[in-house]
Chain A
Amino acid sequence: DQQVKQNSPSLSVQEGRISILNCDYTNSMFDYFLWYKKYPAEGPTFLISISSIKDKNEDGRFTVFLNKSAKHLSLHIVPSQPGDSAVYFCAASDNAGNNRKLIWGLGTSLAVNP
C-alpha cells in the first residue's frame, strides 16, 4: 500500500514557466515532508522540506505548500530552468520508533524545455 503517492509520472514545462509537482499521502501520522531531486545514476539531493505545523516553506525558486486537511503537498519551481530536469521525489516521515525513516513516492520526471 503506497502511503505517499505521486500520481503524475511525468511533467513537461517550458523554460521560465512554473512547474508544479504534486504529492498525496494517506498516513495522518506523517509530520515532516521533504522533496528530493534525482539525476540518473546519482543519489537523491535534498531540495526543501516542511513541517506539518506549517503550510508553506520557501527557498529561492522552490516553494512547498502543505494542505493537511487534504493530505496533499506540492512543490512549485519558479521560474523553471532546463537544469531542473530530473526526477523529483516526495518523501514523508513520522516519529514512530523515533527513527525518522523516509517513506517515498514513485517520483515525477520533470522535463524543462528551452
Chain B
Amino acid sequence: DTGVSQDPRHKITKRGQNVTFRCDPISEHNRLYWYRQTLGQGPEFLTYFQNEAQLEKSRLLSDRFSAERPKGSFSTLEIQRTEQGDSAMYLCASSLNRGRTNEQFFGPGTRLTVL
C-alpha cells in the first residue's frame, strides 16, 4: 500500500499526559500537512511542511503542540500536557508541489480521546 499512513489509529490518554502521532506520507510527495477535525466540523489546518521545513503554523497550534519532519520524510505531531479540548481526529495529508493544483491525499487519521 503506497498511500498515507498514520499511527496510531486511536489513542486514549489522561489529561496532562504527552502524546505523539506519526505520519508517513506518499514517498514522492514533498508537501505534508496536519489538520484537526472535531465532530460536525470540517478539517482545520494546523501546520505545513515543504520537505523538512515547517513553513506555516496555524494559531490553533498552541505552544503545547510541536511538529517535525526530519529528513523530509515521515512527520510527528506531539501534544504536551494534553487537555480535554485536544480530543479530535488528527489528519495527515501529503501532496506534490505542482503550482496551482494541490490534490492532498489523506491518511486514515488518529483519533485522540483525552479523559
Chain A positions within 8 Å of B, measured between CB atoms, are 4, 31-32, 34, 36, 41-46, 49, 51, 89, 91, 93, 95, 97-107
Candidates B42, B102, B107, B109; contact of A107 at CB < 8 Å: B42
Residues of B within 8 A of A41 (CB): 108-109, 111
Flag whether B62 is at the interface (Cβ < 8 A). Answer: no
User: Given A43-B108, A97-B56, A99-B48, A106–B41 Cβ distance below 8 Å?
Assistant: yes
Q: List 7 A-B pairs, minimum CB-CB distance, nearest first.
A: A104-B42, A43-B106, A100-B102, A101-B45, A99-B48, A43-B109, A44-B106
Flag whether B40 is at the interface (Cβ < 8 A). Answer: yes
Interface residues of B in 71-114 (CB under 8 A from A): 91, 93, 95, 100-109, 111
A-B contact count (CB 8 A): 67
Residue on A nearest B33 in the bound complex, by CB: A101
What range describes how many residues of B lie at the interface? Answer: 20 to 34
Measured in the bound complex, the distance between the Cα atoms of B6 and A89 in whole Å is 21
Residues of A within 8 A of B31 (CB): 100
Other than A32-B102, A41-B111, A99-B48, give 19 A-B pairs with Cβ distance below 8 A: A4-B42, A34-B103, A34-B104, A43-B6, A43-B93, A43-B106, A43-B107, A45-B106, A46-B106, A49-B101, A51-B101, A89-B43, A97-B55, A102-B43, A102-B102, A104-B44, A105-B42, A106-B42, A107-B42
- The B contact surface, by secondary structure, is strand
Chain B positions within 8 Å of A, measured between CB atoms, are 4, 6, 31, 33, 35, 40-45, 48, 50, 55-56, 91, 93, 95, 100-109, 111
Candidates A43, A49, A97; contact of B103 at CB < 8 Å: A49
- CB pair A93–B102 under 8 Å, yes or no, is yes
Residue on B nearest A48 in the bound complex, by CB: B103
- CB pair A99–B55 under 8 Å, yes or no, is yes
User: Given A43-B108, A100-B31, A106-B40, A32–B56 Cβ distance below 8 Å?
Assistant: no
